[in-house]
Structure 1
Amino acid sequence: MSTQKDTSLSRSERRHKEIRLALRVFRYFLPYKWAMLVALIASGVVSATTAGTAWLIKPALDDIFIRQDAQALIYVPLAFIALTALKGVGRYVQNWCMHFSALRVIEKLRQELFHKIINLPLHFYEEAQVGALMSRVINDVGMIRQSLPAFIQIIRQVITMISLLYVVFQQNFELACWAVVVLPVAGFPLSLFSRALRRYGRKNAEVNASISSMLQELLSGIRVIKAFATEKEETDRFNKENAKIIRINFRQSCVSELSSPVMEFIGALGIGLVIWYGGREVVQGNMTPGTFFAFMGALAMLYSPFKTLNGANMNVQNALAGAERVFAILDDPALKTEKGGGLDVNEPFRELAFRNVTLRYGDESVPALRGITLTVRSGERIAFVGPSGAGKTTLVNLIPRFYVPQEGEITLNGRPLGDYSLASLRRSVAMVSQDAFLFDTTIAENIAYGRDPALPLDMERVRRAAAAAYADGFVSELPGGYETLIGERGVRLSGGQKQRLTIARAILKDAPLLILDEATSALDSESEHMVQKALDNLMLNRTSLIIAHRLSTILEADRIVVMECGQIVDIGRHEELLGRCELYTRLYNMQFRALDEPCGTETASTES
């Protein structure tokens, strides 16, 4: 007994959830209520003309073919043509209004979803799958587009059914009762099909997101796949996900296709009863053949929209499944967008101070940074060294507030970082990392990335920045010069060329604080030499924080911060640390001894 109550309660809750979800989707269509109203009126015209076409069957048979009325021979065909033309106009207007409003809603939803996603903190992207996010923005929002057209179609079919019911009851009340007695029976399978379609729609969206993530990962890592000759293994992995999609789509199709014959069979029961009862009435002379065939025509048209409701219902269920996944991101209280203060960084850089800063990633018990206390003054060149996992990159990522520490405080010019707006804070910091990311656009647009889009592109400043980064030479030799498209992630350029363009981008940004995160670690010796010259130009008259892979690049730093296990071990100049700091001495000896040995020995990694 309690189990039945729990089941009915869960069904009731599920029904209320669906209604709330549908109403929320519907609110996005409210700004286009005029289009919805016109679509409803047009659907009423389509329904009325459908019923009018059914009504014309009686005068066509009785007046033209049986009584051979010459006048009817004129007005019945003309009425049929007029009704068909009016129906076509109504259908076109209805579809135009539905698609207009649906596409506008897609635009609005995609804007809201992308705005939410792109303003989420950096740690969200470290946990989320890019392909799954792409699927939410493209596929799931696209599924919502079906909701209003399907809703209008349901209304149109209901109006059509009401109009046709009027025709059949007006023709013969008793016969109509026999015809519609089976309609309530169709409600039960329609409800079962709705739940199944909704379930498969949700699964389909999830699997599509999964395969999008896999494709994004595989195509981004195609060089690694080919280097390890794992095409067959990755193809097998893709085939498994692809087969899963096919299975779910097949089951969804089976449910959808099963609903049609079930509905047709229920309709056939009603039609069979009508033929038996109506045929007997015609044989006994109680009904004219025209009346009977007009009734049958209206009845056939009546069952058609009832079957169409199943297809519309499938679209509604898919739309609700997509809406669930979209609103899951928009409404998730755990997904909080980044927020800064109200102040702009509009004064010269004087000092950046870390006071007892501690940071943990997520729910990890071991902190990534522990008790960091450090002051950076204007014009200083400070280097960070230490083994992998020491926390060097994590530390500098706190400055533009990519992460927010749980304990301690970071101040800029005496004010907490949280008091400044994120945009102005990040505009005051230029970062160059070993991952030289470039966009699939022109070289000029990449160098000037982040400029005010309302202002024209200043090519003179772009060229000066490129020259200072030692990039002007190779750019000028390209067929398109600064208008050359460089491909996705700059695939058409070498590593050194890409790095020099990112340095040119940082030079053009002209931020007072510079962060170099192992900017030369992935380059060969010749490229490193050229990039190091570009970095020297970049660091002129700027406060610089340098994460070093090769200690030879930071020997002249004003201070060297030695880190290990998220803590600062020692701070000083190269001469002071050598011998005093055991970790620094060990790192220095490992690297410089390797340079002195003929064959070279492996050096311990000092990357973050």
Structure 2
Amino acid sequence: MSDGKKSMTNLGSRQLLKRCLSYFLPFKKRLALAVVGMLVVAPCGAASAWLVKLAVDDVLIRKDVQALKLVTIAIFALMTLKGVFRFIQTYYMNSTGLMAIEALRNDLYERMVYLPLRFFNESQVGMLMSRLLNDVSLISQSLPSMVMFVRELFTVIGLIGYVIYLDRGLAFWGLIVMPMVVWVFKAFSRKLRKIGRKTQINASDLTVVLQEGLSGIRVIKAFAAESIEVGKFKTENHNFLKSSVKRIRLSEQSSRVMEIVGAMAAALVLWYGGMRVIDGNLTPGALLSFLTALAMLYEPIKRMNSANMDIQAALSGAERVFEILDAPDLKVETGGTEELDEPFQELSIEDIRFTYAEGNRPALDGISLRVRAGERVAIVGPSGSGKTTLVNLLPRFFEPQEGRILLNGRALSDYTLSSLRRFMGIVSQDAFLFNDTVSGNIAYGMQRRWDQREIEDAARAAYAHEFISELPAGYGTLVGERGVKLSGGQKQRLTIARAILKNPPLLILDEATSALDTESERIVQLALENLMRNRTSIVIAHRLSTVLTADRIVVMENGRVRAQGPHKELLDICPLYARLYSMQFAESDSVEAPDHGTL
């Protein structure tokens, strides 16, 4: 799934808002306090306008001292009440927004990690990070902005009622421009939603370039390609700038149009009301109170416009978030109900066919294979023959389109995914380590409590204890992101120690030594020998020297099994194997089988 330039979400604004608000509902008590604060604050505008009329007519014109005392106390009490309840509304609403975002971010990450590998093969890490961080954060604005919108709407309704009560004639001229306000909301909402979506896509693209650049910095420097990457970053950064500037322009245009509408209404009222004051048909206090109410009326309208901008931005983020959460074609991995906790008996692969989504030919085309308990089966073949694809079907990282795989006589889909994957130990050429301690990496994913002695025993069996002891904090040393503080051979030995501690009945080695130098390979081979001892193993190897003593060697080409058997037999019956062998051992006519230190 790619980020794309257009959202695939077809949800309307009302449905998106409903989905957003569902994450706020668990916090009903906090929301109730925020709503109470809103209901108290909303009528304060009309009350303030009424106090202005009293202050002008009764205090400034009639010079009533008692009225002065009452107005002074009333203004202080009103402003205090408004301040306290606005704090209650703002604090509880914004903090509730953060709590809702925590829940939404948890749901989104949980949804992602349970999706099949196919999803991650088709998605960019930077795009997924952008949705988890940027898009989710935008949604936190949705409910507070909606509450602010409703609060200001109530304020507007109260002020409209007051100005009509005060003077219907003035109210007519003050409210005649209201249809323009509605037009501004509708016209700019669509544009703001569209540019908000564009801005989020540009932010996602920028995150992708940044993540790839920082993750691949060694390759960038090796090819002296810094200027190329800087160029990519500048391009995406400029695209992000353009959409952000356009969003600011629309936002400011909307606000200024609102101000012009408000100024037009004030001018009409001032002209009409001023003439009435001159004629003696209206008191100055009434006119000033009306103008105050009118000014207060268009201030909340502008705040409603601002809230609408935040809501549209939240909806643009919500589209991208719920695209993952609700997409019907993104199905989480599912397993069966049987727990796989018995010893390994037999693995049967029957007429398997598998094609990648973007593939133009089958990666596996009618593969059949049987692995019995205690066997060491090697799989060899040229690049692209389907070796890694085949072993990726065993833990159900991918599902075959045809055929079936049986483990101990049952289909893989009958077993729970957790028990199936715990049953297998996988050591690949990509020795991935987490930014954790050495002990934490060795014990990663353990389903039971473990003690330090078990970890050290596993490390000794993996020939890792010696170099671990020389690290600054020993087993408590942080290895850095992806194990950057360790050499390739050291990282691989830690992954082998991890597999030894896991103690799986079935072991899968996917070119575990292909990326190592000769000395590191020799040590890792010894560690692998300890790992495979008395264990059923499937070994993918590029170097034939590591698999010559396997019980059976399976030769693959173009997604098919060409031959299988022991080394000497394959030399006679399989031209492909003989060619691979002669290419790797051209310097001698024959090579003795490797000793205990090899596979």
Shorter-chain TM-score bucket reads: over 0.9
- The structure 1 residue matched to 2:229, chosen from 222, 228, 234, is 234
C-alpha deviation, 1:595, in angstroms: 7.6
Deviations 1:462-493, CA, capped at 9 Å, x for gaps:
11111111111111111111111111000010
**Structure 1 SS opposite 2:23:** helix
C-alpha deviation, 1:63, in angstroms: 2.2
Q: Distance in 1 between matches of 2:402 and 2:57?
A: 91
Establish whether residue 557 from structure 1 lines up as the match of residue 550 from structure 2.
Answer: yes
C-alpha deviation, 1:51, in angstroms: 2.0
Establish whether residue 458 from structure 1 lines up as the match of residue 458 from structure 2.
Answer: no
Would you identify which runs of 4 or more consecutive aligned residues in structure 1 move more than 6 Å?
Answer: none
**Structure 1 SS opposite 2:317:** helix
Structure 1 residues 560 and 63: CA distance shift in structure 2, 3 A: same
Match of 1:59 in 2: 54
Matched residue type, 2:296 = M
C-alpha deviation, 1:138, in angstroms: 1.3
Q: Distance in 1 between matches of 2:518 and 2:22?
A: 61
Q: Distance in 2 between matches of 1:561 and 1:255?
A: 65
- The structure 2 residue matched to 1:297, chosen from 261, 276, 292, is 292
- The structure 1 residue matched to 2:498, chosen from 486, 505, 513, is 505
Matched residue type, 1:281 = R
Match of 2:463 in 1: 470
Match of 1:136 in 2: 131
Structure 1 residues 16 and 287: CA distance shift in structure 2, 3 A: farther
- Structure-to-structure mapping, 1:49-448, within 5 angstroms: 49-362=44-357, 364-448=359-443
- The structure 1 residue matched to 2:518, chosen from 522, 525, 528, is 525
C-alpha deviation, 1:16, in angstroms: 8.2
Match of 2:566 in 1: 573
Deviations 1:326-364, CA, capped at 9 Å, x for gaps:
111122222111111100101110100111111111263
Q: Distance in 2 between matches of 1:294 and 1:43?
A: 24
Deviations 1:221-252, CA, capped at 9 Å, x for gaps:
11011111111111111111110111111111
Please say which of residues 36-45 and 467-476 is displaced more in the overlay. Answer: 36-45
Contact 1:50 1:87 in 2 (8 A): no
Structure 1 residues 76 and 15: CA distance shift in structure 2, 3 A: farther
Matched residue type, 1:61 = V
Q: How many residues align?
A: 582
C-alpha deviation, 1:540, in angstroms: 1.0
Match of 1:606 in 2: none
Q: Distance in 1 between matches of 2:530 and 2:418?
A: 25
Establish whether residue 583 from structure 1 lines up as the match of residue 576 from structure 2.
Answer: yes
Q: Distance in 2 between matches of 1:335 and 1:448?
A: 31
Q: Distance in 2 between matches of 1:80 and 1:257?
A: 33
**Structure 2 SS opposite 1:333:** coil
Q: Distance in 2 between matches of 1:177 and 1:53?
A: 21
Match of 1:548 in 2: 541
Q: Distance in 1 between matches of 2:84 and 2:402?
A: 67
Structure 1 residues 164 and 594: CA distance shift in structure 2, 3 A: farther
Q: Give the unaligned 5+ runs of structure 2.
A: 1-8, 591-599
Q: Distance in 2 between matches of 1:535 and 1:272?
A: 87
C-alpha deviation, 1:499, in angstroms: 0.4
Structure 1 residues 241 and 513: CA distance shift in structure 2, 3 A: same
Q: Distance in 1 between matches of 2:417 and 2:154?
A: 54
TM-score w.r.t. structure 1 length?
0.93
Deviations 1:102-124, CA, capped at 9 Å, x for gaps:
22221222222212211111122
Q: Distance in 2 between matches of 1:191 and 1:106?
A: 28
Contact 2:11 2:319 in 1 (8 A): no
Matched residue type, 1:181 = I
C-alpha deviation, 1:15, in angstroms: 11
**Structure 1 SS opposite 2:585:** helix
Percent identity, aligned pairs only, is 54
Q: Distance in 1 between matches of 2:449 and 2:530?
A: 26
Q: Distance in 2 between matches of 1:324 and 1:565?
A: 42
Q: Distance in 2 between matches of 1:85 and 1:442?
A: 55
Deviations 1:550-574, CA, capped at 9 Å, x for gaps:
1111111111111111111111111
Structure 1 residues 246 and 69: CA distance shift in structure 2, 3 A: same
**Structure 2 SS opposite 1:193:** helix
TM-score w.r.t. structure 2 length?
0.95
Q: Please give the root-mean-square deviation of Cα atoms over the aligned residues, in Å.
A: 1.7
Matched residue type, 1:37 = A
Deviations 1:111-149, CA, capped at 9 Å, x for gaps:
222122111111221111111111111111111111101
Q: Distance in 2 between matches of 1:45 and 1:438?
A: 56
Contact 1:42 1:91 in 2 (8 A): yes
Please say which of residues 491-500 and 97-106 is displaced more in the overlay. Answer: 97-106
Q: Distance in 2 between matches of 1:562 and 1:587?
A: 10
Deviations 1:483-533, CA, capped at 9 Å, x for gaps:
111110000100010000000000011001000111111111111111111
Deviations 1:262-289, CA, capped at 9 Å, x for gaps:
1111111110111111111211222221
Q: Distance in 1 between matches of 2:168 and 2:117?
A: 69
Deviations 1:173-227, CA, capped at 9 Å, x for gaps:
2211211111122211221111100000111111111111111111111101111
Q: Distance in 1 between matches of 2:226 and 2:357?
A: 35
Match of 2:595 in 1: none
